[in-house]
């Protein structure tokens, strides 16, 4: 009994501080946002403590008052964010998967160096890296000058401030997020299983679909989720590379809090992002559980 009590005390000692920290600094602000999203915006900013469901109505279609009208543009921005985040996941997966395969087959020394290279961008400020992309993509940038130099185009192409630029930028930023979980599951892949598949009559393509892909699925799902979540709420990449043309939900939330000073509406938008992410996690858990059985 004495032992059990000591264990409990140990656990409290170890977990107490982080639990309190998470409660105060993570759950606290989230709860505040949830409550605010059901309040009425104050006339000079802030909130009035009057219940209102119209913040959600403005996004989803039932608000029809003088000040608070439903506007399909909000839902449009939300859907565009989902689309851009989804495409970012796809492109970073397409880049990271072969790279992870290649790196996992290297000699240990070169492998460590390659992984270091993948994580290298973390050491440079995100803003600096994104403005470097502006220099590359703008009409008088390196890319357009190169293309015009070799005569592929006579007029500069509008790369910047497009969906393309935003997807490119987010892919670039989130490749390490996709790469590391992928690498984890690809490195664990037993080469003998590939030989066994081939031995049992499968071509390389069949082996890929039936053995390699299912065996590395945990890495694909893990990498996709931790790429999708920050992509969906991202506002730095679209504001630098997307400008005013490619507005994502993150930019909209930022505007509501900082420029429009409509905190309840900003909170409602943020809750929509949260809901989308939670839905995704629930689906993933369901799939994972079915995979186990």
Applying CB under 8 A, does 211 fall inside the site for another protein?
Answer: yes
Buried b (16+ CB within 10 A) or exposed e, 116-155: eebeeeeeeeeeeebeebbebbbeebebbeeeeeeeeeee
Neighbours of 263 (CB within 10 A): 21
Applying CB under 8 A, does 221 fall inside the site for another protein?
Answer: no
Q: What residues numbered 233-292 form the site for another protein, per CB under 8 A?
A: 291
Applying CB under 8 A, does 71 fall inside the site for another protein?
Answer: no
**DSSP code of 121?**
G
Length of the chain: 293
Contacts with 284 (C-beta within 8 Å, 6 or more apart), sequence order? 221, 225
Looking at 210, 245, 278, 279, which residue binds another protein (CB under 8 A)? 210
How many chain residues interact with another protein (CB under 8 A)?
Answer: 19
Decide whether 75 or 215 has the Cβ nearer to another protein: 215
Looking at 29, 61, 139, 214, which residue binds another protein (CB under 8 A)? 214
Q: CB under 8 A: which stretch of 87-95, 212-220, 248-256, 265-273 binds another protein?
A: 212-220
For strand 39-41 and strand 47-51, is the pairing parallel, antiparallel, or unpaired? antiparallel
Looking at 152, 196, 278, 282, which residue binds another protein (CB under 8 A)? 196
Q: Which residues bind another protein (CB under 8 A)?
A: 190, 192-193, 195-203, 206, 210-211, 214-215, 217, 291
């Amino acid at each position: 009994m004495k032992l059990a009590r000591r264990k409990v005390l140990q656990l409290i000692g170890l977990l107490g501080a982080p639990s309190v920290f998470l409660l105060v600094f993570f759950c606290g602000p989230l709860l505040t946002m949830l409550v605010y999203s059901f309040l009425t915006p104050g006339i000079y900013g802030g909130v009035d403590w009057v219940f209102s469901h119209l913040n959600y109505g403005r996004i989803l279609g039932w608000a029809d008052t003088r000040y608070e009208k439903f506007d399909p543009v909000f839902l449009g921005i939300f859907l565009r964010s989902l689309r851009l985040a989804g495409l970012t996941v796809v492109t970073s997966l397409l880049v990271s998967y072969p790279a992870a395969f290649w790196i996992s087959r290297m000699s240990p020394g070169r492998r460590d160096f390659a992984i270091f290279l993948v994580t290298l961008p973390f050491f440079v400020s995100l803003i600096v890296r994104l403005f470097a992309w502006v220099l590359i993509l703008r009409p008088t940038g390196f890319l357009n000058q190169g293309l015009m130099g070799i005569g592929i185009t006579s007029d500069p192409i509008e790369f910047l401030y497009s969906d393309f630029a935003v997807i490119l930028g987010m892919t670039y930023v989130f490749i390490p997020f996709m790469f590391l979980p992928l690498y984890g599951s690809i490195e664990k892949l037993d080469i003998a299983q590939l030989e066994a598949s081939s031995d049992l009559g499968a071509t390389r393509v069949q082996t890929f679909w039936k053995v390699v892909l299912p065996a590395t699925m945990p890495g694909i799902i893990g990498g996709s989720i931790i790429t999708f979540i920050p992509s969906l709420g991202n506002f730095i990449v679209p504001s630098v590379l997307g400008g005013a043309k490619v507005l994502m939900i993150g930019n909209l939330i930022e505007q509501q809090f900082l420029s429009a000073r409509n905190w309840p509406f900003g909170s409602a938008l943020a809750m929509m992002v949260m809901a989308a992410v939670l839905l995704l996690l629930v689906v993933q858990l369901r799939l994972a559980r079915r995979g186990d059985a």
